Amino acid sequence: MTKFVLAGRADCPFYAKAELLADYLQKNLPDFRVHKITQHPHVWEEWLEDLCKKNKWNHKNSPIIWRELLDRGGKGLLLGGYNEFLEHAQLYYGVTSSMTTEMMKVIAQENLMTHIEDEQEKEALKQLIEPLNVWITSASSRPCYNLIPILTSGEVFGMHTEISITLFDDEKTEENLQILVTEMWDLVSPLLQSVSICTRVEEAFRQAHVIIILDDHTDKEVYTLEDCIRSRVPLCRLYGYLIEKNAHDSVRVIVGGKTFVNLKTVLLMRYAPNITHNIIAVALGVEGEAKAALARKLKTTSSCIKDVIIWGNISGNSYVDLRKAKIYNYESAIWGPPHFSRPVLSLIFDSEWVNKEFVATLEELTATGKQFGAILAAHSIATTLKYWYHGSPPGEIVSLGVLSEGQFGIPEGIVFSMPVKFENGTWVVLTDLKDIEISEQIMTRMTSDLIQEKLVALGDLIYFQPYQSETLSTKRNKKTTLSTTNDNQEVQSISDVDFADLISETNPEQLLSQEPINEPEGKTMEQ
């Protein structure tokens, strides 16, 4: 018995015609068998090249047809394409095909739609069999404790997606992690397939689909801002190396926290260049604080306020943009259906409050990070992940820290919070928004610190000089300079974290010496 294998591009008309002929032969000839393979047009050429390379065939077009001798084994015997198959059917079986060109095109489109539906169904079944592997760093921290119930509820990844969570942290925290594992099983979540602990750095991020980077906890103090910035490099370099080495090819990395969020994100991108577009920084925490402050002023709930844009440094110099902000379900003389909204700025008549008290409140929260609590951090990360997987609400603006490609006049090569929307499993920068131009002075204020942070971290700049406008008072200057270092958590070093004992097992000197620190990229940004 001979089996024919018919493979082709899902939208190929000639594949459709060959398929119909093969189906007819299989139905009417007892010893004729056919196995059909379709590939999406985007992957067909690569698939065909690999197939021909493996079997040492020379074939360039769709479809490709070969015979497999079931009773002999061995590799298949290449027949050729559609014309060769038609000739074979005429010669051996006296059968030909009379399908019209229009019918070929119609069936080809139906084949493509069927192929896409089959692939989606296979992916859904795969998710039920193979759980989504989620890794959380600094897992003994409070934000992780608040994040886990949200991740296991089904709200983030979907009610039919099982997940496997790995808690990654220092060996000293293992006892606390074991307690956390017990509490996680006590949740009795039907979506939580497994929980594990990892304290060996060489095993980090194995087959990870999602990696959540939380603020690291360290023991050694540093005494200058420059040392604090540079201390972020070793761990980010190590994480980047391990992510590219161990994680899944389509891994998604999300960086949250309250210290040097933009800097850590851009360093991870530098040391994991193959997944740059899949590394983002969470800005919804700052956005939530801004909405809460507005809600208190307007005596409403923060969930009624939408489209507040956070520009710039998520954990530093940022700009809260209210020009697109809207409020829904607001009790006033003007009332409308649930989808009716009004501009926030039109309802705040106290411009003094907006320009001074509101700004000062947010600067205080962002600079010190003291009120950026674990619940807010966890909710911000979970919401961002939910949008990433299922899309953000239609028409709603979301703030996100992403790598700048020059949008809105932002210098390239820095991670900058800007307006985006999530759709189809990815994010898109909203460059088509009208009337959101940012003044040169505000842009300089936001980008100056981010550029300097990157240069200092990479060794291209010795001293960090926080941006100071000419109108700022000496008192404000002092506050700005100290605000980054007055929190004990801000002035701790990553380089001497207890992971160092674990890193030594993977020869860190060799790993950390692979990247030169004086490169043209940083010098270009300084100009």
Residue predicted with more confidence, 94 or 451: 451
Q: What is the mean pLDDT of residues 282-309?
A: 92
Beta-carbon count within 10 A of 79 CB = 17
Query: Among the ranges 84-88, 195-199, 523-527, which has the highest mean pLDDT value?
Result: 195-199
283-458 and 2-125 share a CATH fold: no
Worst-scoring range by mean pLDDT, 119-123, 193-197, 229-233?
119-123
**Class of domain 283-458 as given by CATH:** alpha beta
* DSSP labels, 269-337: HHH-GGGGGGEEEE-HHHHHHHHHHHHHHHTS-GGGEE--EEEE-TTSSEEEE-TT-EEES--SSS---
Q: What is the mean pLDDT of residues 392-420?
A: 95
Worst-scoring range by mean pLDDT, 13-17, 49-53, 101-105?
101-105
Residue recorded with tokens 């994680």: 247
Q: What is the pLDDT of residue 416?
A: 96
Q: What is the pLDDT of residue 471?
A: 46
Beta bridge partners of 333: none
Q: What is the pLDDT of residue 375?
A: 92
* DSSP labels, 202-223: GGTTTT-SEEEEPPP----B-S
Q: What is the pLDDT of residue 304?
A: 92
CA distances from 398 to 78, 119, 308 (A): 53, 30, 8
Residue recorded with tokens 């490709």: 64
Query: Left, alpha or beta for 341 (phi > 0: left; psi -120 to 50: alpha)?
Result: beta
How does residue 502 score in pLDDT terms, banded at 50, 70 and 90?
Answer: very low
Distance CA 208, CA 130 (A): 12
Distance CA 172, CA 199 (A): 9
Q: What is the mean pLDDT of residues 15-28?
A: 89
* DSSP labels, 92-159: HH-------HHHHHHHHHHHHHHHHHHHHHHHHHHHHHS-EEEEEESTTSHHHHHHHHHHTTTTTT-T
Task: Identify the CA nearest to 386 among candidates 402, 214, 378.
Answer: 378
How does residue 30 score in pLDDT terms, banded at 50, 70 and 90?
Answer: confident
pLDDT of residue 512 exceeding 60, the answer is: no
Residues 132-189 pLDDT 10s: 999 999 999 999 999 999 999 999 999 988 999 999 999 999 999 999 999 999 998 9
Task: Identify the CA nearest to 521 among candidates 467, 464, 461, 462.
Answer: 461
Q: What is the mean pLDDT of residues 55-81?
A: 81
**Class of domain 130-278 as given by CATH:** alpha beta
458 touches 450 (CB < 8 A) = no
Antiparallel, parallel or unpaired: β 279-282 and 305-306? unpaired
pLDDT of residue 506 exceeding 80, the answer is: no
Q: What is the pLDDT of residue 472?
A: 44
272 touches 362 (CB < 8 A) = no
Distance CA 165, CA 147 (A): 11
* DSSP labels, 468-495: --TT--HHHHHHHHHHTTSSTTTTB-ST
Q: What is the pLDDT of residue 371?
A: 52
Worst-scoring range by mean pLDDT, 95-99, 142-146, 349-353, 500-504?
500-504
Q: What is the mean pLDDT of residues 52-69?
A: 89
Tokens representing residue 150 in the block: 């949200």
pTM: 0.67
Angle, CA 211 vertex, CA 142 and CA 47 arms, to 5°:
165
pLDDT of residue 524 exceeding 70, the answer is: no
Task: Identify the CA nearest to 157 among candidates 124, 121, 197, 194.
Answer: 124
Q: What is the pLDDT of residue 367?
A: 57
Distance CA 164, CA 151 (A): 10
Q: What is the pLDDT of residue 70?
A: 56
Distance CA 451, CA 411 (A): 9
pLDDT-above-70 percentage for the chain? 83
**Class of domain 2-125 as given by CATH:** alpha beta
pLDDT of residue 350 exceeding 90, the answer is: no
Residue predicted with more confidence, 470 or 430: 430
Distance CA 493, CA 216 (A): 9
Q: Where are the domains of the chain?
A: 2-125, 130-278, 283-458
How does residue 491 score in pLDDT terms, banded at 50, 70 and 90?
Answer: very low
Residues 216-256 pLDDT 10s: 876 566 678 888 899 899 999 999 999 999 999 999 999 99
DSSP H or E segment with residue 224: none
504 touches 226 (CB < 8 A) = no
Residues 106-119 pLDDT 10s: 888 998 899 888 88
Q: What is the pLDDT of residue 488?
A: 31
pLDDT-above-90 percentage for the chain? 52
